[in-house]
């Protein structure tokens, strides 16, 4: 994968997706080992809602660049020093 990580980590959407994904993963793995997290103490309906919101954040901020084929950035994007304005 050829991805310009220096630019990716400057985007809020990347961090929102990464943190949301990690929280969901930790919650799932903790369930496998019967470990109780603070999220387990919240109402089940609230937990489902929060997980749905986190899932949406993950989908909206995935690492994949939809403007290129595959998972790599375009040659042009790999040379950016900061996120490009769409204006």
User: DSSP characters for the chain?
Assistant: ----HHHHTT-HHHHHHHHHHHHHHHHHHHHHTTPPPHHHHS-HHHHHHHHHHHHHHHHHT-S--TTSSTTSPPHHHHT-SSPPP--
Q: Average pLDDT in the 53-77 region?
A: 67
- What was the pLDDT predicted at 41? 65
pTM: 0.56
Q: What is the mean pLDDT of the chain?
A: 73
Convert the pLDDT of each residue in 13-50 to its tens digit: 778 778 888 888 887 788 788 777 665 566 777 777 87
């Amino acid at each position: 994968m050829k991805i310009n990580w220096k630019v990716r980590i400057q985007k809020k959407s990347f961090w929102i997706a990464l943190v949301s994904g990690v929280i969901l993963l930790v919650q799932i793995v903790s369930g496998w080992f019967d470990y109780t997290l603070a999220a387990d103490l919240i109402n089940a309906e609230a937990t489902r809602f929060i997980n749905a919101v986190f899932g949406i954040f993950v989908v909206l901020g995935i690492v994949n660049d939809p403007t290129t084929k595959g998972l790599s950035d375009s040659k042009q994007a790999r040379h950016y020093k900061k996120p490009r304005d769409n204006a």
